[in-house]
Chains A and B, each alone.
Chain A
Amino acid sequence: MSGVRLLRFLAQRLAKIVVLMVAIVIINFLLIHAAPGDPASVMAGQSGTADERYMQQLRQQFGLDKPLPTQLWIYLKHVAVLDLGKSHRLQRPVADLILERLPATLLLTGTAFVLAIATGIASGAMAARRVGTAADSLITTLSLVFYCTPLFWVGLLLVLLFSVTLNWLPSFGMGTVGANLSGMAAVLDVVPYLVLPALTLGLFYMAIYARLTRSSTLEVADLDFVKTARAKGVDEGRIMRRHILRNALLPVITLAGIQVGHLIGGSILVETVFAWPGIGTLAFEALLSRDYEMLLGVFLCTSVLVMLFNLITDLLYLVVDPRVELA
């Protein structure tokens, strides 16, 4: 693949991301105006305690006395320089707060995603290879069960088992309070705190990937080129790895790319259950205090994250399937 074409592809995708971002900013703007009540009081949180001077400042800053298109233009200009407004609860810029919490969310969703993909594909392939046996039914049943269980409830059950009853793992936070560690010790300190949240978030997606890998593997295993490979005397393990799985994984990658948005949404629930200090907890706290500017900031930021992940999936596609053309 030529470098020029790759660059053109990346430029096209980035342009698309910018267009989508503008669309989301417009949605945010419309939501503020569609909400019952004065836009300034919506942004100030309608907590009743918002002082008149602050509201006045908001009205002036966003030109709320001007016609709607002008207001939209002012709003877009603010967002373009990453000014997402101020959290009235914490009295700090929304963009700063989100950037501060982002690494924790990325760590949690990233771990859950890798866990879900790896175990999902492995168990799905195993089920397909032993189709009709007890192992297959076990994997199929388990993935149906996890698919139907509310995420936050799984989290609570895991806490009940591993924290309350067995006392093996901590049930909330992200590191020992006041331990003040640095370097490797700090990293190792986070690991036990990460296990339960990542497992909770990962199980649901593992179920989906396992179901899809199983059906897609069974479908590919029936195709002619697999019979040819078998007739040539290629051994079964190699057929599975090189011939079947490589083709069967394409729909799984597609779905994984589509579902990243889901995964990030799910992290709001999991972070709430485990008090994990990411943007999910930030969103939950914003909900409790009606901090709408904060909430809309989280919405914009998670949407951007999803688009970036989608871009990564597209690039991954190129690696797995060399036949795919850059469009």
Chain B
Amino acid sequence: MKGFLRAFFRNRGALAGLVILALAFLLALSAPLLFPFSPWDMQGAPFMSPGEMGFLLGSDSLGRDVAAGIAYGAPVSLIIGAVSTAVALVIGVSLGAFAGYAGGAVDDAMMRFTEFFQTIPSFVLAIVLVAIFKPSLASIVIAIAVVSWPPVARVARAEFLSLRNREFVQAAEVLGRSRLVIIFREILPNALSPIIVLASLMVASAILLESALSFLGLGDPNRMSWGFMIGAGRSVIRMAWWMSVFPGLAIFLTVLALNLVGEGLNDALNPRIAHRRAAT
């Protein structure tokens, strides 16, 4: 653990990512303190440029505070990113673990299934899912999870395939442990590090995906979100650039931070598979 921490903190990029991420969390937690009003309410004249009338980052076409919108959008992005990744991990790890442990026909069938989900255009499927089940936090989380589990399943399967014939697994089998215990208590802990790295990168792409969905008008209608703000500013970009530039900057910084942390984790946990990162 100590060696891991030292390796992680030696990486300046990862450290910067961690700082940005901490700031995003702070912003998300303190939104109601910094802006004690609803981000949907009019706070002054519309189309004020940054700095005018007390609007730090300007106001939008309805006189709403852009800075407040960004602050209230932070928890939405972070929660959707984290929860959808968690759901995708549960689906992907269970499928991949069983496929890799069982091998043979089960493995074949499950990998066909995974391949099918990798072939269909994921963003289009996410749009269709959210549109048909009506935009809400739950439908967005599910849609993102449904399109992002296949890489997890592949990584988990590869790890399980290589670990299942090792002596400690054979020992557990001889001792008569049940399959579930062997999979989750014996093998999984040894297969975790590539999955952890993948998870941090998946949170980043989930946030990008959420912003794209809400940009198209598929965000939860009751929550302010960064993608929605950019979508709203799109048609008036000639007169109010700040409406779309600042929320986009927020997305960019958050996603960048998560990627830097992911790379740091990767280098610290398993330098051996550093090259695999680009492919997922």
Interface residues of A (CB under 8 A from B): 20, 23-24, 31-32, 34-36, 42, 144-145, 147-153, 156-157, 159-160, 164, 208, 211-212, 215-216, 219, 251, 255, 258, 261-262, 264-266, 268-269, 272-273, 283-284, 287-288, 290, 292, 295-296, 298-299, 302-303, 306-307, 310
Partner of B131, one of A23, A216, A292, A303: A292
Verify A148–B116 contact, CB threshold 8 A. no
Does B259 interact with chain A (Cβ within 8 Å)? Answer: yes
Asked if A160 meets B237 with Cβ closer than 8 Å, knowing A283-B127, A287-B218, the reply is yes
Interface flags, B113-144, vs A, CB<8A=1, else 0: 00010111111110111011110000000000
Which of B58-66, B97-105, B181-189, B249-257 contacts the other chain? B249-257
CA distance A273 to B244 in the complex (A): 12
8 Å CB contacts to A: which residues of B92-113?
none
Q: A222: shortest Cβ distance to chain B, in Å? A: 12
Give 26 pairs: A residue, B residue, CB < 8 Å, sorted on A. Answer: A35-B132, A36-B133, A144-B259, A149-B255, A150-B227, A150-B230, A153-B252, A156-B245, A156-B248, A157-B248, A159-B237, A160-B245, A215-B274, A255-B279, A261-B118, A261-B119, A262-B123, A265-B122, A268-B124, A268-B127, A268-B216, A273-B234, A283-B127, A292-B132, A303-B124, A310-B119
Asked if A153 meets B251 with Cβ closer than 8 Å, knowing A24-B120, A215-B278, A288-B217, the reply is yes
Q: B140: shortest Cβ distance to chain A, in Å? A: 14
Q: With a 10 A CB-CB cut-off, give which of B129, B217, B248, B251 has the most chain A CB atoms.
A: B248
CA distance A290 to B129 in the complex (A): 13
Verify A160–B279 contact, CB threshold 8 A. no
What B residues does A287 contact at CB under 8 A? Answer: 127, 131, 216-218
CA distance A287 to B275 in the complex (A): 39
What B residues does A306 contact at CB under 8 A? Answer: 119-121
CA distance A261 to B115 in the complex (A): 13
Does B238 interact with chain A (Cβ within 8 Å)? Answer: yes
CA distance A261 to B150 in the complex (A): 14
What B residues does A160 contact at CB under 8 A? Answer: 237, 241, 245
Does B212 interact with chain A (Cβ within 8 Å)? Answer: yes
Does B208 interact with chain A (Cβ within 8 Å)? Answer: yes
Q: A84: shortest Cβ distance to chain B, in Å? A: 14
Verify A150–B208 contact, CB threshold 8 A. yes
**Which interface class (under 10, 10 to 19, 20 to 34, 35 or more) fits B?**
35 or more
What A residues does B241 contact at CB under 8 A? Answer: 160, 164
Tally of A-B residue pairs with Cβ under 8 A? 135
What A residues does B274 contact at CB under 8 A? Answer: 215
Instruction: Give the nearest-CB partner of B204 in chain A.
Output: A148
What A residues does B278 contact at CB under 8 A? Answer: 208, 211-212, 215, 255
Does B84 interact with chain A (Cβ within 8 Å)? Answer: no
Q: B253: shortest Cβ distance to chain A, in Å? A: 9
- 5 closest cross-chain pairs (CB), A and B: A265-B123, A153-B248, A261-B121, A148-B256, A148-B255
Q: With a 10 A CB-CB cut-off, give which of A149, A212, A262, A290 has the most chain B CB atoms.
A: A149
Asked if A265 meets B204 with Cβ closer than 8 Å, knowing A150-B227, A156-B248, the reply is no
CA distance A153 to B252 in the complex (A): 9
Asked if A164 meets B248 with Cβ closer than 8 Å, knowing A156-B230, A212-B279, the reply is no
Asked if A153 meets B259 with Cβ closer than 8 Å, knowing A160-B237, A268-B123, the reply is no
Verify A150–B122 contact, CB threshold 8 A. no
Asked if A215 meets B275 with Cβ closer than 8 Å, knowing A261-B122, A296-B128, the reply is yes
Partner of A284, one of B133, B216, B248: B216
Interface flags, B208-221, vs A, CB<8A=1, else 0: 10011001111000
What A residues does B122 contact at CB under 8 A? Answer: 261-262, 265
Q: A207: shortest Cβ distance to chain B, in Å? A: 10
Verify A303–B120 contact, CB threshold 8 A. yes
Sample of 11 more A-B contacts, CB < 8 Å, known A148-B252, A153-B230, A153-B252: A152-B215, A156-B230, A160-B237, A215-B278, A216-B275, A261-B120, A265-B122, A268-B123, A268-B127, A287-B218, A292-B132
Instruction: Give the nearest-CB partner of A265 in chain B.
Output: B123
Q: B43: shortest Cβ distance to chain A, in Å? A: 24
Asked if A35 meets B133 with Cβ closer than 8 Å, knowing A153-B252, A157-B245, A215-B275, the reply is yes
Q: A293: shortest Cβ distance to chain B, in Å? A: 11
What A residues does B227 contact at CB under 8 A? Answer: 150
Verify A150–B212 contact, CB threshold 8 A. yes
CA distance A265 to B125 in the complex (A): 9
Q: A88: shortest Cβ distance to chain B, in Å? A: 15
